[in-house]
């Protein structure tokens, strides 16, 4: 009985713990030292006899003692558990991706430790010198912590260390020479630390087992030591983003195992070294963004390079003929250099080229006929050079081709017949050359051809009937050639056709019937041809048509009333033989340039009928006219009298409305005068660098936002004196740049872009009338006391909307539009917090080459949003918009201003990066946001970080950004909220195609 009682007592007061072995007890001690918010250690309990079945624990089969502990990715927080060293057989520890936030203690008693992975934690303090005392340590990874200070001298004494990775810490000493003593080292990875300026120790050349040497962004100065050439096993050398000077040592040609060399973004000078021919494994050489000069050495060309990236150097010279001998070269991208001379004519004979981009150089001579000899060539990008001669007939067999851009060269002759019909080509661009001949009938085989752009050549003959078989054709642009004959009837079968531009040819005959089956047609330009007959009435049912130019033809008959149904941005029927009454919608000032030069057309406002009509009843008309003239005289006298009166009465407020030029892009439900009357200081709702914004409530109850741009002249718009107005009317000064831009912007139709209703201009002042957005700008809302309205789902939606708007500008507008001033104040919110991108105040239309229109002469962008490369290139392109957009993302996630006194010297981008590194993501995210969206917020934050990459090339395209944002949102909806975690970088393969904007 007593025994029974005792054993009962035993069992209840020490419940089961008696059975757990000592190692298990140590581990429970570890468990208690951690905060385990995800219950990752829930399987760790004292009821088991051994810990061997616990999560993350592995034991030796024979002895049953713990050999390995893998608690990666478990959201554990707390100090590093020194108790682990009591597990004598422990050889493997991984706490990768947790929140261990102490210093690294002395763990030299972990005698059997081989593998220690503490990467992606919050460790602080110095590197403990005792780490080198671990006799068996082979693997030490402390990547992504906050370890600071210098390397302890003991680090030269590791006995077996093979991997040392300290990437993304706060080490601020220099890279010491004694690292060259760790002769067992295979991987040395010290990238991204704020080291003091220092040289690459030549002693690193002693690490003859080294396979990977990553010293990216380590504040390296001086020259690359010759001794690195001794690293015979090295396959990856990355010295990018440092301050290295001098030339690339020729000893690098002795790195016989090397696969990848990255030297980009340094200040290296001289030529690429000779003797690279030994590097038979080299696949990638990136020496972009240095100051290299001279020619590309012959040796390089015999390599099996997959990628040769020499972007943005100063190579001036020729491409050596031996580049053609490269046995495995399949990607050659040498765009945007200053290479000259001819391409080697046997290029492609040996190399199985796939991607070939030599755009934007100064090459001359013919296209090498063997380019596609291996039958692999997919992309052939040769725009902006001075290539001459014909397209080699051998290329008509190149069925692998899918993207061909030969524009802006001096090519001539006829296109090989079957070249027109290559089955996989979706883009064929031959613009601005001197090609001649017909479009081959074989084009019927071009089943994937979507963009056919052959403007500005000497093509002739008639358009083949077969064009109607190119079922995927979306854009056919053949302006300024010598095509003649009639339009093929089959053209109306192209139901995907969006743009048909045949301006400036010698085409004749009538417009085809059944044109209304071109349901996607939004631009029809047949100007400057010899078309005759009537404009078909069906044209009015092309519901998405918004650009119609039929000017300068011989069209007759009436203007079809159906045209009034269309929402046209551009309508030009001038210089034809049209007759009859103008449809009422068009009988307005706004359309006065649309119908010029049609002598038989009648309308009140813009055109008046020719005398011929009146000849028939001359006398009658004479009487009528006299009466009319008399009445008009009386009327004019009256008006003048009234006007003088009025001027005296209200001189200060007078606006000379007569000299306003109105350009409208939508059917307007208001008149410009109504707006002019309301530009009162009381109605100002905003003020920016480019002008004031007014809210104008129209008589129909609708509101519009009117932006008044500051004029060049000091005088405001409100009090322009009449004399000056008159003088102007006589010698009108037109700002064509502005007009052209506004016209482009007016054409844009997208749900995430603020609608521009119209513009009114005088010399002194320009008004832009936009739709009114009741919730104002994102910036104002986010940084005001009302930011509580913006919960995470709203912020997410806003950012996605804005991304779609920008993506539209970048990818769907032709030519692409760079916004140039993306910021939270330019993202406006409608009544439902739907976001629209606004204020193209400084947006310019860029041409396909990415050159900024010449009217650009002021600094683009706003403080805190300007991409770093702008400081040295003064060029903006889509990538600078993406940077600014990234800043907006960071703003939304953090709730902070892009420039905040609290950041010190830093801007938001630097602040986010350092805070993430030092404190973790929780310190970055706006505390007003509900933590249950944490995971999605982190993902979006991540996207913001990718967009703000310092190197433009690393920023994803806007299209990709939209996709990433959608993925970030979609996953959350599927999985619900998950554990908190640190950020892992996004990888993407976008952005290498800079030389070939499609
Ligand atoms: C480490 O993290 C734990 C748990 O989150 C926290 O209680 C503790 O204060 C942190 N210690 C340091 C030094 O930050």
For residue 668, what pLDDT is reported? 65
Q: Sign of torsion, CA 804 768 749 547? A: negative
Highest mean pLDDT: which range of 158-172, 253-267, 509-523, 640-654: 158-172
Average pLDDT of the residues in 772-796 = 86
Quote the CA–CA distance of 709 and 756 in Å, as a whole number: 14
For residue 141, what pLDDT is reported? 96
For residue 15, is it within any domain?
Answer: no
Record the tokens describing residue 82, joined without a space: 């020194």
Ligand 1 atom closest to Cα of residue 101: 1
Judged against a pLDDT cut of 80, whether residue 541 lies above it is answered with yes
**Residue of the nearest CA to atom 14 in ligand 1?**
101
Judged against a pLDDT cut of 70, whether residue 14 lies above it is answered with no
For residue 133, is it within any domain?
Answer: no
Average pLDDT of the residues in 725-740 = 41
* Residue with the larger pLDDT of the pair 56 and 297: 56
**Residue of the nearest CA to atom 7 in ligand 1?**
78
Backbone angles phi, psi at 703, to 5 degrees: -110, 145
**Cα 78 to ligand 1 centre (Å):** 6
Q: Concatenate the DSSP letters of all residues of 884-907 into one string.
A: HHHHHHHHHHH---SS-GGGTT--
Q: Concatenate the DSSP letters of all residues of 722-744 into one string.
A: HHHHHHHHHS----HHHHHHHHH
For residue 862, what pLDDT is reported? 73
Q: How many domains would you assign to the chain?
A: 1
**Cα 102 to ligand 1 centre (Å):** 8
Highest mean pLDDT: which range of 427-431, 606-610, 623-627, 674-678: 427-431
Closest alpha carbon to 116 in 148, 155, 71: 71
Closest alpha carbon to 576 in 513, 523, 530, 607: 530
For residue 717, is it within any domain?
Answer: yes
Lowest mean pLDDT among 577-591, 612-626, 682-696: 612-626
Quote the CA–CA distance of 930 and 847 in Å, as a whole number: 44
CATH code of the domain covering residue 683 = 1.10.510.10
Can you state the percent helix, strand and coil of the chain, rounding each to 5? 30, 20, 50
Q: Band the pLDDT of 606: cuts 50, 70, 90.
A: low
For residue 712, what pLDDT is reported? 40
**What contacts 255, CB < 8 A, 6 or more positions away?**
228, 229, 231, 232, 234, 237, 261, 279
Average pLDDT of the residues in 627-655 = 67
Q: Which positions are annotated as active-site residues?
A: 821
* Residue with the larger pLDDT of the pair 653 and 909: 909
**Cα 37 to ligand 1 centre (Å):** 13
* Residue with the larger pLDDT of the pair 596 and 1: 596
Give me the residues paired with residue 309 across strands: 286, 333
Closest alpha carbon to 241 in 308, 207, 194: 194
Judged against a pLDDT cut of 90, whether residue 567 lies above it is answered with no
Under the phi-then-psi rule, with left for phi > 0, alpha for psi from -120 to 50, and beta for the rest, what region is 691?
left
**Residue of the nearest CA to atom 9 in ligand 1?**
78
Average pLDDT of the residues in 97-119 = 94
For residue 214, what pLDDT is reported? 95
User: Residue 35 CB: number of other CB atoms within 10 A?
Assistant: 9
Q: Band the pLDDT of 505: cuts 50, 70, 90.
A: very high
Average pLDDT of the residues in 172-176 = 96
For residue 885, what pLDDT is reported? 95
Quote the CA–CA distance of 922 and 929 in Å, as a whole number: 11
Per the annotation, binding residues are 708
**What contacts 515, CB < 8 A, 6 or more positions away?**
492, 521, 536, 538, 539, 542
**Cα 979 to ligand 1 centre (Å):** 18
For residue 309, what pLDDT is reported? 54
Q: Band the pLDDT of 508: cuts 50, 70, 90.
A: very high
**Residue of the nearest CA to atom 12 in ligand 1?**
101
Backbone angles phi, psi at 60, to 5 degrees: -75, 130
Lowest mean pLDDT among 169-173, 270-274, 668-672, 841-845: 841-845
Select from 78, 95, 105, 121 the residue to mutate for testing ligand 1; criterion: most ligand atoms less than 8 Å from CB: 78
* Residue with the larger pLDDT of the pair 684 and 41: 41
Average pLDDT of the residues in 360-378 = 86
176-194: per-residue pLDDT in tens? Answer: 999 999 999 999 999 999 9
Record the tokens describing residue 500, joined without a space: 């048909």
For residue 313, what pLDDT is reported? 58
Ligand 1 atom closest to Cα of residue 102: 13
Ligand 1 atom closest to Cα of residue 99: 2
* Whole-Å CA distances, 336 to 295, 847, 849, 850: 14, 16, 11, 12
Q: Band the pLDDT of 429: cuts 50, 70, 90.
A: very high
* Residue with the larger pLDDT of the pair 565 and 644: 565
For residue 690, is it within any domain?
Answer: yes
For residue 812, is it within any domain?
Answer: yes
Q: Band the pLDDT of 2: cuts 50, 70, 90.
A: very low
For residue 9, is it within any domain?
Answer: no
Judged against a pLDDT cut of 50, whether residue 802 lies above it is answered with yes
Mean pLDDT estimate for the chain: 80
CB 890 within 8 A of CB 795: no
Residue keyed to tokens 């003991």? 154
For residue 619, what pLDDT is reported? 53
Select from 31, 32, 37, 77 the residue to mutate for testing ligand 1; criterion: most ligand atoms less than 8 Å from CB: 77
Quote the CA–CA distance of 823 and 843 in Å, as a whole number: 13
Q: Over the Cα atoms of the chain, what is R_g?
A: 36
Record the tokens describing residue 511, joined without a space: 């417009």
User: Taking CB atoms and a 6 Å cutoff, what residues make up the pocket around ligand 1?
Assistant: 35, 77-78, 101
**Residue of the nearest CA to atom 6 in ligand 1?**
78
Average pLDDT of the residues in 145-155 = 95
Per the annotation, binding residues for ATP are 708
For residue 408, is it within any domain?
Answer: no
Q: Band the pLDDT of 648: cuts 50, 70, 90.
A: low
Closest alpha carbon to 776 in 706, 703, 837, 825: 825
For residue 234, what pLDDT is reported? 96
Judged against a pLDDT cut of 50, whether residue 675 lies above it is answered with yes
Judged against a pLDDT cut of 80, whether residue 326 lies above it is answered with no
For residue 853, what pLDDT is reported? 36
**What contacts 362, CB < 8 A, 6 or more positions away?**
338, 339, 340, 385, 386
- Rounded to 10 deg, the angle between the 958-975 and 934-947 helix axes is 170
CB 249 within 8 A of CB 272: no
Quote the CA–CA distance of 894 and 944 in Å, as a whole number: 11
Average pLDDT of the residues in 813-837 = 85
Give me the residues paired with residue 653 across strands: none
CB 820 within 8 A of CB 876: yes
Judged against a pLDDT cut of 60, whether residue 175 lies above it is answered with yes
* Whole-Å CA distances, 930 to 386, 926, 977: 59, 9, 11
Lowest mean pLDDT among 426-435, 484-493, 686-695: 686-695
Ligand 1 atom closest to Cα of residue 35: 4
Residue 661 DSSP class: E
Q: Band the pLDDT of 86: cuts 50, 70, 90.
A: very high
Work out the percent of the chain whose per-residue pLDDT is above 90.
41
* Residue with the larger pLDDT of the pair 885 and 916: 885
Boundaries of domain holding 739? 672-993
For residue 306, what pLDDT is reported? 46
Under the phi-then-psi rule, with left for phi > 0, alpha for psi from -120 to 50, and beta for the rest, what region is 630?
alpha
**Cα 77 to ligand 1 centre (Å):** 7
Beta strand spans in 360-514 (E): 362-365, 379-381, 386-389, 403-405, 410-414, 427-429, 434-437, 451-453, 458-461, 475-477, 482-486, 499-501, 506-509
Select from 101, 121, 918, 920 the residue to mutate for testing ligand 1; criterion: most ligand atoms less than 8 Å from CB: 101
Average pLDDT of the residues in 502-520 = 91
Quote the CA–CA distance of 789 and 776 in Å, as a whole number: 13
Q: Band the pLDDT of 710: cuts 50, 70, 90.
A: low
**Cα 910 to ligand 1 centre (Å):** 24
Average pLDDT of the residues in 23-44 = 94
Judged against a pLDDT cut of 50, whether residue 18 lies above it is answered with yes
**Cα 79 to ligand 1 centre (Å):** 8
For residue 849, is it within any domain?
Answer: yes
Quote the CA–CA distance of 811 and 993 in Å, as a whole number: 14
Residue 810 DSSP class: I
Lowest mean pLDDT among 52-66, 471-485, 714-728: 714-728
* Whole-Å CA distances, 648 to 373, 653, 656, 673, 720: 84, 10, 14, 20, 15
């Amino acid at each position: 009985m007593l025994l029974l009682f005792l054993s009962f007592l035993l069992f209840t007061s020490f419940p089961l713990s008696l059975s757990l072995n000592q190692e298990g007890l140590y581990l429970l001690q570890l468990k208690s030292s951690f905060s385990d918010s995800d219950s990752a250690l829930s399987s760790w309990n004292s009821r088991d006899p051994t810990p061997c079945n616990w999560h993350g624990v592995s034991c030796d089969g024979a002895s049953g003692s713990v050999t390995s502990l893998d608690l990666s990715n478990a959201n554990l927080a707390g100090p590093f558990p020194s108790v682990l060293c009591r597990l004598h057989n422990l050889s493997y520890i991984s706490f990768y991706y947790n929140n261990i936030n102490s210093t690294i203690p002395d763990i030299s008693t972990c005698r059997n430790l081989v593998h220690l992975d503490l990467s992606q934690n919050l460790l602080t303090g110095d590197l403990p010198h005792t780490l080198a005392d671990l006799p068996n340590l082979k693997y030490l990874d402390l990547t992504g912590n906050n370890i600071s200070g210098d390397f302890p001298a003991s680090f030269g004494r590791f006995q077996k260390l093979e991997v040392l990775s300290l990437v993304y810490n706060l080490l601020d000493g220099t890279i010491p020479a004694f690292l060259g003593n760790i002769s067992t080292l295979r991987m040395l990875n010290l990238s991204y630390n704020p080291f003091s300026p220092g040289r690459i120790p030549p002693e690193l050349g002693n690490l003859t087992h080294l396979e990977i040497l990553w010293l990216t962004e380590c504040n390296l100065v001086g020259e690359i030591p010759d001794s690195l050439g001794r690293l015979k096993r090295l396959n990856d050398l990355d010295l990018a983003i440092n301050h290295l000077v001098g030339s690339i040592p020729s000893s690098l040609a002795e790195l016989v195992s090397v696969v990848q060399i990255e030297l980009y973004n340094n200040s290296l000078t001289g030529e690429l070294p000779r003797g690279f021919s030994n590097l038979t494994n080299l696949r990638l050489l990136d020496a972009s963004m240095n100051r290299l000069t001279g020619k590309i050495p012959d040796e390089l060309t015999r390599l099996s390079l997959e990628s040769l990236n020499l972007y943005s150097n100063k190579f001036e010279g020729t491409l050596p003929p031996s580049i053609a001998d490269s046995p495995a070269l399949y990607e050659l991208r040498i765009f945007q250099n200053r290479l000259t001379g001819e391409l080697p004519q046997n290029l492609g004979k040996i190399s199985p080229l796939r991607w070939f981009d030599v755009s934007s150089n100064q090459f001359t001579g013919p296209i090498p006929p063997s380019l596609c000899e291996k039958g692999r060539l997919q992309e052939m990008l040769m725009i902006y050079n001075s290539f001459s001669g014909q397209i080699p007939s051998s290329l008509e067999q190149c069925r692998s081709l899918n993207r061909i851009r030969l524009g802006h060269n001096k090519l001539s002759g006829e296109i090989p017949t079957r070249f027109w019909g290559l089955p996989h080509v979706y883009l064929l661009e031959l613009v601005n050359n001197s090609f001649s001949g017909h479009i081959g009938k074989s084009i019927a085989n071009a089943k994937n051809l979507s963009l056919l752009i052959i403007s500005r050549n000497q093509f002739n003959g008639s358009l083949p009937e077969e064009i109607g078989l190119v079922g995927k054709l979306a854009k056919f642009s053949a302006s300024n050639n010598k095509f003649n004959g009639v339009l093929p009837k089959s053209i109306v079968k192209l139901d995907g056709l969006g743009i048909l531009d045949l301006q400036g040819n010698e085409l004749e005959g009538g417009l085809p019937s059944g044109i209304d089956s071109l349901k996607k047609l939004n631009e029809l330009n047949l100007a400057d041809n010899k078309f005759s007959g009537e404009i078909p009435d069906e044209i009015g049912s092309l519901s998405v048509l918004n650009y119609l130019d039929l000017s300068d033809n011989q069209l007759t008959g009436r203007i079809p009333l159906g045209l009034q149904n269309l929402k046209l941005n551009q309508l030009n029927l001038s210089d034809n033989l049209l007759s009859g009454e103008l449809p009422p919608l068009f009988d307005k000032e706004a359309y006065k340039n649309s119908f010029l030069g049609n002598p038989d057309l009648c309308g009140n406002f813009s055109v008046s009928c020719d005398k011929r009509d009146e000849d028939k009843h001359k006398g009658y008309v004479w009487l009528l006219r006299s009466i009319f003239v008399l009445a008009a005289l009386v009327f004019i006298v009256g008006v003048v009298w009234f006007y003088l009166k009025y001027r005296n009465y209200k001189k200060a407020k007078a606006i000379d409305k007569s000299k306003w030029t109105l350009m409208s892009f939508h059917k307007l439900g208001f008149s410009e005068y109504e707006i002019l009357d309301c530009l009162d200081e009381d109605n100002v709702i905003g003020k920016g660098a480019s002008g004031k914004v007014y809210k104008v409530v129209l008589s129909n109850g609708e509101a519009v936002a009117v932006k008044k741009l500051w004029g060049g002249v000091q005088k405001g718009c409100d009090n322009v004196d009449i004399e000056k107005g008159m003088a102007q009317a006589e010698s009108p000064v037109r700002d064509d740049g502005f007009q052209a831009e506004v016209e482009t912007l007016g054409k844009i139709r997208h749900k995430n872009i603020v609608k521009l209703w119209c513009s009114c201009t005088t010399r002194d002042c320009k008004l832009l009338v936009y739709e009114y957005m009741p919730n104002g700008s994102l910036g104002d809302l986010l940084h005001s006391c009302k930011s509580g309205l913006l919960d995470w789902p709203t912020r997410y939606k806003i950012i996605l909307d804005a991304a779609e708007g920008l993506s539209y500008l970048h990818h769907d507008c032709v030519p692409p539009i760079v916004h140039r001033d993306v910021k939270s104040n330019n993202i406006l919110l409608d009544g439902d917090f739907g976001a629209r991108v606004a204020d193209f105040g400084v947006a310019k239309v860029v041409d396909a080459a990415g050159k900024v229109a010449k009217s650009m002469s002021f600094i683009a962008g706003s403080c805190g949003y300007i991409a770093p490369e702008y400081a040295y290139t003064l060029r903006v392109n889509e990538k600078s918009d993406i940077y600014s957009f990234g800043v907006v993302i960071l703003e939304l996630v953090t709730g902070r201003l892009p420039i905040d006194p609290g950041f010190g010297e830093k801007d938001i981008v630097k602040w986010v990066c350092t805070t993430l590194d030092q404190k973790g993501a929780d310190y970055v995210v706006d505390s007003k946001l509900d933590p249950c969206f944490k995971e999605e917020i982190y993902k979006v934050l991540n996207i913001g970080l990718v967009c703000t990459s310092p190197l433009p090339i690393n920023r994803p395209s806007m299209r990709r950004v939209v996709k990433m944002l959608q993925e970030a949102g979609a996953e959350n909806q599927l999985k619900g909220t998950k554990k908190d975690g640190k950020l892992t970088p996004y990888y993407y393969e976008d952005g290498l195609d800079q030389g070939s904007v499609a």
